[in-house]
Chain A
Amino acid sequence: MDPSLSVSDITSSTKPLSEASSPPVMDLLSEPASEASSAPMVDLLMEPASEGSSAPMVDILSEPASEASSAPMVDLLMEPASEGSSAPMVDLLMEPASEASSAPMMNLLMEPASEPPKPDIDPLADIINDTPLSEGKTPVAAMPQEPPSDLFDDEPSELFAEPRQSNTANDNYNEHPTDIFTEEAITTLPSAVSTVSVNSKTNGVHSDEEEPDIFAEATVELSLDSPRNDRKKKEAAKPSASASAPAPSVSASASKPQPKTLEELIIVFHSTGDGMNAYMAYKVSTQTTLPMFRSKTFTVRRRFSDFLGLYEKLSDKHTLNGYIVPPPPEKSIMGMTKVKVGKEDNSSAEFVERRRAALERYLQRVVFHPSLLQDPDVREFLERDDMPRAHNTQALSGAGFLKMINRATDSLSKMTIKMNESDVWFEEKLQEVEAEDQQLRKLHIMVDSLVGHRKELSVNTGGFAKSVAMLGSSEDNTALSRALSQLAEVEDKMEQLHQEQAASDSFCFAELLADYIRLLGSVRASFDQRMKTWQRWQDAQNMLQKKRETEAKLLWANKPDKLQQAKDDITEWEAKVTQYERDFDRVSATVRKEVLRFEKEKARDFKKQIIKYLESLLQSQQQLIKYWEAFLPEAKAIA
């Protein structure tokens, strides 16, 4: 299923939904249905839709508008965020979660659906630009402690949370994964520390471009895998709260996990520019309909080392089983120092943004991995307000050193293992991966060099533009002088163009390659893991062989006292061999599955990113044409 397609499906099909028409829902739902191959799901999904499409839906649109109660909403959000995790709040939030049987699914449908009423902007664009904040709650008046923040001016239109409250009405606080869109999210770029603080309270910092993908991914990946993985939990969690559904369990799994994980990055300088102690904090805002989370949207603050810590934890646990654990971006002491020193120049802003985007992609890869998403550490990372600081991620720390040694011994033992590969598939794949790694590295260097040259070109074009402007000013033929200064302007614009192009070379292309170079490292790690388990199995077999030999010797020597011991050993090792063999088979199967999944993702990522890159090239050519077309008559006017 094509991600981009499904995005448009969701948005376009849900548009009519809000206008109280159910049929489009079918489109949307039919897709996951085919994937999950569960027919009932469709029915189930239609239910809420039809429900919603009758009265409540209309309410959604009308209620908030009339009430325009933006303030309290914010309050509710601010509370937990500022206080850390306040218990009552959590309770409140959890209740609906456990009850909200079909609600999540509805969210999926209704969220975008509620957007059309908004001005005339494309719903998708809204999602992209804005900050989803969620929390609809009826007893609005109950907790208005703080003045409405102006960030949420445009929010009434988004308050589509209401209707669902009417559904699950008995709770005081129904939280909903509603998007409250604040334009402000975009402006919270690194520099704006003040806004940032506001943001941190209001909690809904979301960002940008990646979101559409998320929608897409949610439908593609999770609809595919979550039924299998989530079903039990969900069944257990909420079999039939709003039991209108004919097939609750299916509905639960179909109530599609739609986690959107977005980070927004904030640089917080320690007190007053305390140079080297400064660190960057990132806001990770999640929006989800997965029942395993306590609420539907939440934001936490994480440091870079936390991301690394998450990776360490995941990799410790899952690499053993042959999973491909997406690696985080590397620590860059150079870049960080530059930022810390506080040069407000382009390169540090670029570094900050590059890292933010890289972390975002990293986290998305984790979250969209069906198995990793189930990991409690992931959940904790996304949800928990007071994360213990990750240790041992420092490059130069003692633990780091130990890790290095471990890695060294690992690679040594890797070299010593001589595996006679029984499975051609693995052999070929590994070779392929290695060759690809090599080429990608090469390509990455070249793209980097292109970026460098493009930047150089930009600078030199700027220099030339100035020089031509000077030449024009000293030229004493008026028409020629004019034409030259026009040329200078054209070159000026070209400077800009080259610079932008260099940025997209780097963001769209080089970053993609860097990601995949790292990912290929993980792929190789999973191959290595498979090899290690194989080795263990072989070792066990050898051991068993030895034990049998001892037994034979003992039999021969007729020493019955030790014979029993030997027999026990044999049974023990036989068990181990079977166990290890099973392990090996399991890991092999996982690796194979993971590699296939990886390849699919890779193909999709490359296609998406490179098309995006080509489009940026296309745009700059269009600009170029415009500039030169404007210049041509000027040149002809020289007389």
Chain B
Amino acid sequence: MRSVMFRFHVCAGEIFELKAELNSDKKEKKKEAVKKVIASMTVGKDVSALFPDVVNCMQTDNLELKKLVYLYLMNYAKSQPDMAIMAVNTFVKDCEDPNPLIRALAVRTMGCIRVDKITEYLCEPLRKCLKDEDPYVRKTAAVCVAKLHDINAQLVEDQGFLDTLKDLISDSNPMVVANAVAALSEIAESHPNSNLLDLNPQSINKLLTALNECTEWGQIFILDCLANYTPRDDRESQSICERVTPRLSHANSAVVLSAVKVLMKFMEMLPKDLDYYGTLLKKLAPPLVTLLSAEPELQYVALRNINLIVQKRPEILKHEMKVFFVKYNDPIYVKLEKLDIMIRLASQANIAQVLAELKEYATEVDVDFVRKAVRAIGRCAIKVEQSAERCVSTLLDLIQTKVNYVVQEAIVVIKDIFRKYPNKYESVIATLCENLDSLDEPEARAAMIWIVGEYAERIDNADELLESFLEGFHDESTQVQLQLLTAIVKLFLKKPTETQELVQQVLSLATQDSDNPDLRDRGYIYWRLLSTDPVAAKEVVLAEKPLISEETDLIEPTLLEELICHIGTLASVYHKPPSAFVEGSRGVMHKRLPAQGTECPDVGNAAGGSAPEAAPSIIPSQGDLLGDLLNLDLAPPTTPAVLLPLVWLPAMKAKGLEISGTFARRAGVIQMELVLTNKAMSVMTDFAIQFNRNSFGLAPAGPLQVLTPLGPNQTIEVSLPLSTVGPVMKMDPLNNLQVAVKNNIDVFYFSCQYPISMLFVEDGKMERQVFLATWKDIPNDNESQFQIQDCHLNSASNKLQGSNIFTIAKRTVEGQDMLYMSIKLSNGIWVLAELKVQAGNPNYTISLKCRAPEVSQCVFQCYEAVLKN
């Protein structure tokens, strides 16, 4: 306590001193004082009390002092909005200062002060600065429009700043053009269909001219903007490419990568037989290789992008294998990426070199890297048939080193090699079997078991080997259990006489003693197959397996196309679409590559908005199918109650879009069932959905599947699977969910409440002992009691089980039934319940105990809903 007082005391003294200095007559003293204030600000001390004194220093013609004061203002204006108003006059005055540096400084700083009251005063000065005679002021004002738009988009539109900004694209100064492009691109991103960046051949021409003249950063802005344009035909596409290629020799890697993006995209439109097409392909390789001599962080970005480019157009870098060889001193993230690309480029022509390298890498120190190298050897074998033999012998050499993780990794890849080249390399099985005991990773164990099962007829002691795994069956991971089950069945079908006992043992382990549904199901299927029709069993279990593909880890083609449109950006580094890591409406729009030879329809706006393709036949989502199966399979009493849809967003509030919906849990998947109705006069397209952070981290598990445009008066039902791994924030009420739905018209927001029973997971049945212990362990303060009135039920527990509320025990005391139940929420919270039912009394009493007592109320509501329904 004393130390806090002491610090405060010092601070107060300091502030007093600074105050005096700030009000000094001497300029130098003032300047030093403001510097001290900023110093305190930097180390996190609160110097906001000095606001009026600092603002007083603003009226000076000294540029240095002015800059210092502005710095201070930016930091504190938000916490002192009323005070900030005091500075407005000076700002407005500074915007007319004869010195262009001061004019620019004023308009730049004003834009950084995010106080509503100030923005009103900003409009007039900004309008003047946008038309200032000095380019430095104009380029600053251009960015300021984007700032203002971020604070108050409506204001920017109303004031007509967007049009002024568009005019700046034709400015005579290249830097002004570049900043205007940057600002417009950013604003356009938050209005995907606004047609803001009206790119046409004339404006493209202006951009290309400015490209030659502006700073390196400006070139990046312009190239990134160009990449959003779709040329009208291949001639235009070629002429843009011709003017962009010189950028490939720029010293700035970002300029190079953005140029590559434009070229990769526009190349799609060029006919492949064109001479220029070949020339362009050749021109792309050297700059990409040069990127690898940049600093390691940039190399990493470049390699992630090259990984995409190699998948899209392998011909570009096919002769450049050597540059991807790993250097001993490369940082690990560069090494791993290089290895990935080496595998992709491996071909018959270079396989010998690649293998020699990979073998070298397999003896390095970093475990991840070594594993990946071993895996890469396996992949080479699968990819290049001629090399398979050499790869296998290399892998055997590595197994001899007896380094545990190397051996395990090698066995995993050898399994794949066996699948690819059946009956070719079985001679190595003996060596593999020697290492059985050292395998401790599930993947390696599963691979080994698969091998033993697959080649059971050639391994004399196959039964012994498999039996040894069976001892600890329940401690194995699911992967191993499943593999073991299949392997033993295979063995039985091949050597029925000696292994009857073994197969029975595994079948009973799988079906009776396991609580894993996958394992049980597979066990039952085998059991029935074997008991009814052994011939059919043979056909099924020992069927010829489909060949595995040569390439693995390929990015799915539509995603790859989208990522190619994002070369150079974070999306290309993460290999994920921007919507996966960007919040809000920004970047939700999906980009696509243009198609070759097609004339772009006259849909004006280049980004999105192209005519919808023939709607693909709609495949019912997996959740639905499973739901059906479940309904067929299980007895009626456990069918969960279905909620009636509620109107969440009335058409009045959403420009004609009405959304009603409900939630359901099917086969362990939470579904948000949405009914979208178009009550407007125009067609709605481009639907997307986002959730705000919520108490249980609910988030859409996939995009909103509205594939056809929604015409007027049409209704569509969509079910959106939800995951529970999104960002978490406690809401009030707890089960509140804030949703944003976007379509081509606007973004709409609504909130709804989901029944908490959606979050009750299927494995919520607690062991009795655990229940007792937990019940005792949770403090009594966390217990809450509720009454459920007017309930007439015969078997509450069946009904509750349908909603994943599991009855663990039942006790009858003095004519009262006591039911003990457990619930597990998707985030792992357990709720324990005690339900008292007295014969003849329609009122039930329920006590809930939970470590997070705030959920009790919600859980109670859910009980009430289930029991009364």
Do the two chains bind?
Answer: no
Residues of A that sit less than 8 Å from B by CB: none
Residues of B that sit less than 8 Å from A by CB: none
